[in-house]
Amino acid sequence: MDILKNFPKLDLSEFWQKQDSGENLLYHEIIGERIIEKPHKHDFFLFMLFENGSGNHNIDFVDHKVVPFQLHMLFPEQIHKWNLKSDTHAHQIMISKTVFEMLAASLRFSLVLYQNHPVINLDKTIYEKVLYEFKQVKNELGEKVKLWEIIISRIKLIALMISQEAEKFFVDKTIYKTNPILVKYLSLIENHYKNEKLISFYSERLNISANYLNILCKRNLQVSSTALIHERLILEMKRMLLTTEKPIKSIAFELGFFDVPYFSKFFKKYTSVTPNKFRKQL
């Protein structure tokens, strides 16, 4: 399984030598072509603002076309790779988990929604305001004596402006706004999907019937309530298969599958390949 060593988990220490920022917050700039052919994941949160650029950014196995005036968000444990063309000019702010916990409330919407919609197109006016704050964070981090209260405040402002744009660009924003139960359901899935796979568990905590929860999901998201749990399981299976050297049996047990053949059958049903083949083909 030596191939799995090519799927590292990067932390902020990878960039410390370029910038002294207390190991919790870093600014990084990308100018020109950048290609990461093999996926990896981070243990930190990332804001990435494209001033210019083209190419592709794959986040959790979904391709996103890169264009100017675009904001990409990457959460800890998400897998990504990219092929950025020579016209790329992007600004990154890397935020440790500890600091991000202080900022998360400024994003206003459920973090699950941002993970499902990690790319937000900005209109020019908002883009210029966000870019200004990015550059101010860069300048503050370059000072010998850093005023962390100012830096954190600026990043909170960035998060608030992004939330304002997210309200315009989330395709299913109105769905979640008029059906807050769906947001709660997605959050419950995120917290319990490894151990709880029955709809009854979730419907009881939402104080609605399993049938009504299924109706809400089909009516508003065009998938069944069970499918949402399965989608989250498949995503985690893919992440673990690519970023760990754990045997298939161990991954199955960790995700609540105590019958390995059933685990493989479940994975193949949604991906058309077995776990072993998925791991080997990459």
Tens digit of pLDDT per residue, the chain (282 long)? Answer: 444 444 455 666 665 544 444 458 999 999 999 998 888 888 899 999 999 999 999 999 999 999 999 999 999 989 999 999 999 999 999 999 889 988 888 998 778 888 888 999 999 999 999 999 999 999 999 998 888 999 999 999 999 999 888 877 665 556 777 788 998 999 999 999 999 999 999 999 999 999 999 999 998 888 899 999 999 999 999 999 988 889 999 999 999 999 999 999 999 999 999 999 998 876
Cα maximum dimension of the chain: 60
All structural domains of the chain, each given as residue ranges with its CATH number in brackets, are 2-170 (2.60.120.280), 175-281 (1.10.10.60)
Strand partners, 94: 26, 46
Strands 34-42 and 9-10 turn out to be parallel
Integer Cα distance of 282 and 272 in angstroms = 15
End-to-end Cα distance, the chain? 11
Integer Cα distance of 50 and 131 in angstroms = 9
pTM: 0.78
pLDDT in the model for residue 170: 64
Helix (H) or strand (E) holding 38: strand 34-42
Tell me if 49 sits within 8 A of 68, measured CB to CB: no
Measured between alpha carbons, how far is residue 56 from residues 31, 46, 79 in Å? Answer: 15, 17, 14
Q: Kindly compute the dihedral angle of the four CA atoms of residues 112, 118, 119, 125, in this order, to the nearest 10 degrees.
A: 60
